[in-house]
Amino acid sequence: MSTSKPISSFRLTSLLRSQKDPSVALQLFLNPNPNHPSPRPFRHSLRSYDLIITKLAQAKMFPQMEQLLNQLHTQTRFPTPEPLLRHVIAAYARAGLPSRALRTFLSIPSPSLRSFNSLLHALLSCRDFASFTRLLPHLPRFRGPDACSYNILIHGCSLTDDRDRAWKLFNEMRRRGVRPNQITFGTLINLLCKSPQLHLPKAFKVKEEMERVFKIKPNAFVYTNLIKAVCEVGDFDSAVRLKDEMVRNNLKLDAVVYNTLVSGFLKGGKKDIGFRVLEEMKSGGVKPDSVTCNVLIGEFCREGKFEAAYRVLDDGLEGVKPDVFGYNVVIGWQCKEGKWREADDLFRDMPRRQCVPDVVTYRTLFDGLCRCMQFEEAGLVLEEMIFKGYVPRSSSLNEFVGMVCKEGDFELLGKVLSGLVGIAWTLQILSSIELDLYQRGESVVHKAKMNIHEEPSKLPLPTKGHQVTSCITCRFSNPGGRTNLYSAKDLDKSPLSICGHMKNVTILTLLKKSEKMLLTSSYDGVIIRWIPGKGYAGKVDNKQFGLIKLLVAGEDGVIASGFDNKVYRVPLEGDNLGLAETVDVGSQPKDLSLALDHPELAIVAVESGVVLLNGAKVLSTVKLDFIVTTAALSPDGIEASGRARRQIAHLFSLRGYNY
């Protein structure tokens, strides 16, 4: 009987290049020949290391990526290629991890100017201006900054609106003989156009110098910034002249240019010209995009024509639908007009419309409900917002807490504070409440100062003739943290105490071991063990995956998922978690379930159906004609059930699998 040949190093490189799933690629890299055991370790090529590390970086599988980087550095004869580390730096930047990007750069023995530029760009992408500034004095260590270096530095000035520094860099660039390019001038003109009332003439002067002195033709980015700026100051004739100039210079008028023109004319009150430009856009073969829809939605909302705005939300333009920005605009204007019920209904209807609310959606609705004095609804939005991992504006939250206190709704206040514990600026919010929430009687409010570790009995009591309206203290000396909320009416009354997790507990599951144990989890990824009759039993070390939406425990491990498409199988090693195996199920999981007698078998509910897993491998993906909300497996793994939104349970029989 013929058997397949072992995979060679060259063949492995080809397989890794064609494999789209990073988890499968990782397993292939770690064990390329499972059916051909050999006493000698497999010799990976440098190219295979490059491919797998790049795939893991793009998938944000950083623990596995860092493990292979360390293996490449310590267990092979290959030096770690600098271009590969630049890919890693860029991946950390996309994930918003500037400290790891800096650490990777510092691991390069003799970094090149190109790597230094990559680091500067990464820090700017993460808005880590402090580290960016600290690194600038090291630039002269290299032979000489190039145009890319200066463009990054000038872009940093643009982000911080530091025009003086930008011009010093531009002049230094010319003194050093570094020739500016289109990006240099585009960044400078963009910086000047941010304040068109003050700097628009200078922006046109830079454009003229760009063409006359440096013989560089302006690109569409330059023209778009100038068109937007002249529309802001009401110079619509110049906007038309700039558009005509683009045509003469053989620059394509794309959707970005037309959207800028239409938006400028509509906001400036020139509706006839704006809609005429929109028709010109369509007749010229330029297809509208989601931004075009958003521009029209904004105009209809400014005029109070919400029905017209809804038509664009429903139908779009030429088959193109608006994105989440358009929904945010409608919700914001509806709240501004006092139509908070309509705004909340639209928010709740967004998933059905296949548009996922973002942090701006939540903040806009939360602020609008607060302005409309709808605190119960605002509290529900805030709770959902924090569950999704979004953070409200601290100023909005302070205002909300203050208004709730003025209403005297301390039950709602307790719920809000319990959900906020652990957010970085919670203590700042608590201290801002202090004791002057609202007074009923004497005009003088006694502000009792509290030590963060003081017991309730040691709190200073108000002197006679003064009134305390609220009293809050925090204590974080316990594992997991504790917050105590005291009533202003009776300081001797037992406080409302919140302990355990620093955020709302969203999951409770039974760990099936000889000793009875419960696991609880909050969305921020914290997992805590509890023993019946004893209570808190320690925090499970979890650094492999971030936010937790679902968690189910078996005999020797847990299976979890967050808010992406991945499911993690993690073995329990003592009191901590081992190395996670990851599988992509194609859609965000709605529910997880294990077969009690066969814990390696799991079912995952996704919106379009169910996915059956054996370990970290997908056994089957079943598409269903209804939206699945929950799923469960029988203990023997023979039957499964799924539940739809129509309150109907569906039973399935599993056949043909050996597990």
User: Do 647 and 607 fall within a single domain?
Assistant: yes
Q: Do 594 and 625 share a domain, yes or no?
A: no
Residue 522, domain member (yes or no): yes
Asked if residue 515 is part of any domain, the answer here is yes
- Token pair 């605002």 is found at 378
- For the chain, give me the number of helices (H) and strands (E)? 25, 19
> Which of 580, 598, 616 is the C-terminal boundary of a domain?
598
Please indicate, yes or no, if residue 137 is contained in any of the structural domains: no
DSSP 92-129: HHHTT-HHHHHHHHHTSSS--HHHHHHHHHHHHHTT-H
**Per-residue pLDDT at 616:** 80
DSSP code, position 467: B
C-alpha 399/C-alpha 482 separation (Å) is: 24
How far, CA to CA in Å, does 336 sit from each of 370, 379, 450?
11, 19, 39
What per-residue confidence (pLDDT) applies to 430?
46
Same domain, 584 and 614: no
In angstroms, the CA 381 to CA 372 distance is 14
Q: How far is CA 93 from the centre of its chain?
A: 13
Domain boundary among 583, 598, 613: 598
Provide the 3-class DSSP secondary structure of residue 130: helix
pLDDT tens-digit profile of 423-471?
A: 544 444 444 444 344 333 332 223 323 333 333 333 343 443 433 333 3
Calculate the average pLDDT of the chain. 80
Residue 112 lies in a domain: no
Q: Region 369-389: what's the mean pLDDT?
A: 88
Sheet strands (E) in 178-236: none
Determine whether 446 is exposed, middle or buried from the number of CB atoms within 10 Å of its CB (0-12, 13-18, 19+): middle
Asked if residue 518 and residue 576 are part of one domain, the reply reads yes
Whether residues 567 and 616 share a domain: the answer is: no
Domain count for the chain, please give it: 2
pLDDT the model gives residue 463: 41
Q: Own/partner pairs for 132-140, CB < 8 Å, 24+ apart?
A: 132/156
Read off the pLDDT of residues 66-125 as tens digits, 9 standing for 90 and up: 999 999 988 888 889 999 999 999 999 999 999 999 999 999 988 999 999 999 999 999
Mean pLDDT lowest for which of 269-283, 306-320, 500-514, 571-585? 500-514
CATH at 563? 2.40.10.480
Ranking 78-92, 271-285, 446-460, 638-652 by mean pLDDT, the lowest is 446-460
187 in any annotated domain: no
Sheet with 517-522, strands from edge to edge, namely 505-511, 517-522, 527-531, 535-540
Three-state secondary structure call for residue 652? strand
What does 403-465 look like in DSSP terms, one character per residue? Answer: HHHHHT-HHHHHHHHHHHTTSTTHHHHHHHHTT-S--SS-S-B------TT--GGGSPPPPTT
Is residue 133 domain-resident? no
Structure tokens at 170: 């531009």
pLDDT at 495: 63
Which among 569, 598, 627 is the end of a domain?
A: 598
Query: Percent helix, strand, coil in the chain (nearest 5)?
Result: 45, 15, 35
User: What CA–CA distance (Å, rounded) separates 148 from 565?
Assistant: 36
Widest CA span in the chain: 98
Tell me which residue range forms the domain holding 586: 505-598
Do 577 and 558 sit in the same domain of this protein? yes
Q: Give the Cα separation of 229 and 499 in Å (integer).
A: 53
pLDDT of 432 reads 44
| pLDDT, tens digit, 9 for 90 and up, residues 550-572 | 888 877 788 888 777 788 888 87
Out of 273-277, 358-362, 552-556, 623-627, pick the least confident. 623-627
Sign (positive or negative) of CA dihedral 475, 367, 506, 409: positive
CA–CA dist 45, 29 (Å, integer): 11
* 510 and 539 fall within a common domain: yes
At residue 635, the pLDDT reads 77
For 193-207, 219-233, 524-538, 592-606, which range has the lowest pLDDT when averaged over its residues? 524-538
**Alpha-carbon gap, residue 579 to 68, rounded angstroms:** 13
Q: How far apart are CA 37 and CA 432, in angstroms?
A: 65
Report the C-alpha gap between 518 and 510 in whole angstroms. 5
Q: What pLDDT, on a 0 to 100 scale, did the predictor assign at position 501?
A: 64
| Same domain (yes/no): 609, 537 | no
Indicate whether 448 belongs to any domain: no
Judgement on whether residues 611 and 640 belong to the same structural domain of the protein: yes
Same domain, 627 and 605: yes
Amino acid identity at 415: K
Q: What percent of the chain has pLDDT over 90?
A: 40
Domain contains 575: yes
Beta carbons of 613 and 593 less than 8 angstroms apart = no
- pLDDT for 519 beyond 50: yes
- pLDDT of 577 reads 76
Same domain, 547 and 558: yes
510 and 590 inside one domain: yes
Q: Which residue has the tokens 């500067």?
A: 120
